[in-house]
Amino acid sequence: MAQVQIVSEGPNYRHQIRSGAHAVIADEPATLGGQGAGLAPFDLYLASLSACTAITLRMYAEKKGWELGQFRAELSSSRDAVGKLVVHRVLHASGALTDAQWQRLLEVVEKTPVTLVMREGATITSERGPA
């Protein structure tokens, strides 16, 4: 499905993440010992969900012939009383959508591929590779 590689660039926690021809810098903020040169790991987590949210809703709206106009999703995360991660999405579109269309978009967003995987969890394995 997907494949990425991360390589340490040296200073503190700055790393380059590559997927095919694309690259992103990951880092921690200065308050955590990083350089603040890129997205922190949980920012990347929310970024993947926001990208899937925007792409899925844009595809759905286009299929239905709805004009979203400029679409924006604002995501935030926090921990609940028992420490479980809670992600909240706020969706915005400049297009003139009806209440019924918005209700359908809110139903669709609950079933985006990344939303479903994040809710179900994933099996994660690790192994040692050659140097």
Q: Summarize pLDDT for 35-89 with one digit per residue, the tens.
A: 999 999 999 999 999 999 999 999 999 999 999 999 999 999 999 999 999 999 9
For 35, phi and psi rounded to 5 degrees? -100, -10
Per-residue confidence at 10, pLDDT binned at 50, 70, 90? confident
- pLDDT average, residue stretch 103-117: 96
Model pLDDT, residue 62: 96
Distance CA 66, CA 83 (A): 39
**CA-based nearest residue to 5, from 16, 14, 114:** 16
pTM of this structure: 0.88
Q: Where are the alpha helices (DSSP H) in 39-92?
A: 41-64
Q: What ranges do the domains of the chain cover?
A: 1-39, 41-120
The CATH T-level fold of domain 41-120 is: GMP Synthetase; Chain A, domain 3 (3.30.300)
